[in-house]
Structure 1
Amino acid sequence: MARAQGARAQMALAFETTYGTPPVGGFTKMPFASTSLGAEQPLLNSELLGYGRDPLAPIKDAVTADGDVVVPLDAEAFGFWLKAAFGDPTTTSTGPCTHEFQSGSWTLPSMSIETGMPEVPRFAMYSGCVLDQINWQMQRSGLLTATARLVAQGETVDTTTSAGTPESLELQRFGHFNGAITRNGSALGNVVSADITYVNNLDRIETIRSDGRIDGADPSIAALTGSIEVRFADQTLVTQAINGDPCELEFAYVLPSGESFSLTVHAVYLPRPRIEISGPQGVQATFDWQAARDSTVGRMCKATLINDIEVY
């Protein structure tokens, strides 16, 4: 008897035309490291009295479908997650294709995501998936991955795939050594690590339905936050924090073959940090930054992905 093994798991993704309705085709095979995407339906204990000490049968509560997907930052597949986070990009397709995603869109696309374990067999289709949050870290070494948090409408399980034969992409991963951080166009030195989190703050539409599912997930006020840990070498960031002035930060990755990804945050505000001397080692400071809408460009951030994909 075959047993489920994570090494044989697979994932396919397609954007929906109608929320909650999986498309009949157009799925793409997605690289992923792990996923907690799933549906659950808790049981409610009976509160009724008069039937003795033994409880009556529980009843089913509403269905909740959500979870995280850990994905690599790569030159092609990561564009699907950027589209889910920001909406449709503006694409320039002369030579290498440049896809520019901008924050602030009130309309986010929904996705159908199928996870499969062929050896069982079990294929779970999650429809109405909307991206609530995406987060990743920049550091000196290790594997570079992002965590996408999704809110789905529901789960349908079958013994055969509903995604057909998904299209495969060429995996070209970015590494931590491909990364760089700039402040107002100049390299930001002495950075030990950085954390970036973009949140759509989805509002679940929890209407009364016979199937217990939600009617949708609408984006509310977005948030872009993070932290920068630096070796304390000068007063530049501290002075900015004290003065309350914003700066522009860019988190970028470039491959030798020309593919690149960058997130430009136009107006970053820094808090005044506590500078501690904890011992003979180097002194480090952590800035928990927040981003806001820049009045000049009219948005909070933009993400730019350069690759050979013509359309997302």
Structure 2
Amino acid sequence: MARAQGARALMALAFETTYGTPPASGFTRMPFARATLGSEQPLLDSELLGYGRDPLAPIKDAVTADGDVVVPLDAEAFGFWLKAAFGSPTTTGAEAPYTHEFQSGSWTLPSMSIETGMPEVPRYAMYSGCVLDQITWQMQRSGLLTATARLVAQGETVGTTTSAGTPAGLELQRFGHFNGAITRNGTALGNVVSAEITYSNNLDRIETIRGDGRIDGADPTMAALTGRIEVRFADQTLVSQAINGEVCEMEFAYVLPSGENFTFTAHAVYLPRPRIEIAGPQGVQASFDWQAARATSPARMCTAVLVNTLAGY
């Protein structure tokens, strides 16, 4: 008897033309490390009396479909998650390399159909109406570089055969922590121990009355861009900015030797005044839980630029 193994799991993704309707073709095979994307429908205990101490049968509640997908930061596949987070990019370049620019502030976000497959069971689950709620990743000195995409889906359809056909493949060119750099107002920011970036669309689920118990959609509300920077305390630059209430531009970038690169720029970053603690004989560190806002020029909160050999998303 075959048993499900994560090593054989598959994931395919395609953007939808109509919300909640999986497209007939156009799926792309996606690299991923973990996935908690799933659908659940809890049971409600019966509250009725008059039938003795033994309870009556429970009834089904509404369907909830959501979860996280952990993906690598790479030169090609990560663009699909950026499109889900910000909307379609502006692509320039007559031939490779192509530059894809994603901007915050879009009023509408694309929905996706994502199929996860376990061929040995077999079980293929199609999650339709997937909208990206949040994407987050960390920068550090070593380790595997991954991002976590939090999704809200409309529903799940399970079958024994794939509905994604033969997904198109991508060339995996993965960024590593070694390829990363952080700049502040165009100057390299030193003494950084780690950094975290979180972009949230803060989705509002449209929970209308339906016969199938699913949501009607997920609308983006006020976006948020937050994070944390952990630095070795060596100068007063960041502390002075925090005390004076000043704003800066911060850029988080990754560059591969072959030329592919990813740059994420927060155009107006505000820093809180941190507590500087001396915890022992080791070096003193300071943490800044920063927040970004809409800048004056450019008139948006953030920009993500991905340069690769893919013609478009």
TM-score, normalization: structure 1? 1.00
| Deviation per residue, 1:263-283 (Å, 9 max, x gap) | 000000000000011111100
2:77 aligns to what? 77
What are the ranges of 5 or more consecutive residues in structure 2 without an aligned counterpart? none
1:23 aligns to what? 23
| Matched ranges for 1:210-289 at <5 A | 210-289=211-290
1:185 aligns to what? 186
Q: 1:93: Cα distance to partner?
A: 2.2
Given residue 223 of structure 1, which amino acid in structure 2 is its aligned partner? A
Q: 1:295: Cα distance to partner?
A: 1.6
Given residue 226 of structure 1, which amino acid in structure 2 is its aligned partner? G
Equivalenced residue count is 312
1:102 aligns to what? 103
2:44 aligns to what? 44
| Deviation per residue, 1:250-275 (Å, 9 max, x gap) | 00000000000010000000000000
Q: 1:233: Cα distance to partner?
A: 0.3
2:152 aligns to what? 151
Distance (Å, rounded) in 1 between the aligned partners of 2:56 and 2:312: 56
> Equivalent pairs: percent with the same residue?
85
| Deviation per residue, 1:183-218 (Å, 9 max, x gap) | 000000000000000000000000000000000000
Q: Which moves more between the two structures, 93-102 or 113-122?
A: 93-102
| SS of residue paired to 2:290 | strand
| Matched ranges for 1:59-138 at <5 A | 59-94=59-94, 95-138=96-139
TM-score, normalization: structure 2? 0.99
Q: Which moves more between the two structures, 261-270 or 93-102?
A: 93-102
Q: 1:51: Cα distance to partner?
A: 0.2
| Matched ranges for 1:291-302 at <5 A | 291-302=292-303
What are the ranges of 5 or more consecutive residues in structure 1 without an aligned counterpart? none
Q: 1:245: Cα distance to partner?
A: 0.6
Q: 1:296: Cα distance to partner?
A: 2.0
Distance (Å, rounded) in 2 between the aligned partners of 1:93 and 1:10: 32
| SS of residue paired to 2:269 | strand
Given residue 57 of structure 1, which amino acid in structure 2 is its aligned partner? A
Given residue 126 of structure 2, which amino acid in structure 1 is its aligned partner? M
Distance (Å, rounded) in 1 between the aligned partners of 2:297 and 2:304: 17
Q: 1:311: Cα distance to partner?
A: 1.1
The root-mean-square deviation of aligned C-alpha atoms, in Å, is: 0.4
Does residue 6 of structure 2 align to residue 6 of structure 1? Answer: yes
Given residue 298 of structure 1, which amino acid in structure 2 is its aligned partner? A
Distance (Å, rounded) in 1 between the aligned partners of 2:297 and 2:39: 43
Distance (Å, rounded) in 2 between the aligned partners of 1:72 and 1:92: 24
Distance (Å, rounded) in 1 between the aligned partners of 2:159 and 2:8: 17
Does residue 206 of structure 2 align to residue 205 of structure 1? Answer: yes
Distance (Å, rounded) in 2 between the aligned partners of 1:15 and 1:308: 20
1:32 aligns to what? 32
Distance (Å, rounded) in 2 between the aligned partners of 1:245 and 1:293: 14
Distance (Å, rounded) in 2 between the aligned partners of 1:226 and 1:16: 31
Q: 1:97: Cα distance to partner?
A: 0.3
Distance (Å, rounded) in 2 between the aligned partners of 1:158 and 1:201: 31
Given residue 303 of structure 1, which amino acid in structure 2 is its aligned partner? A
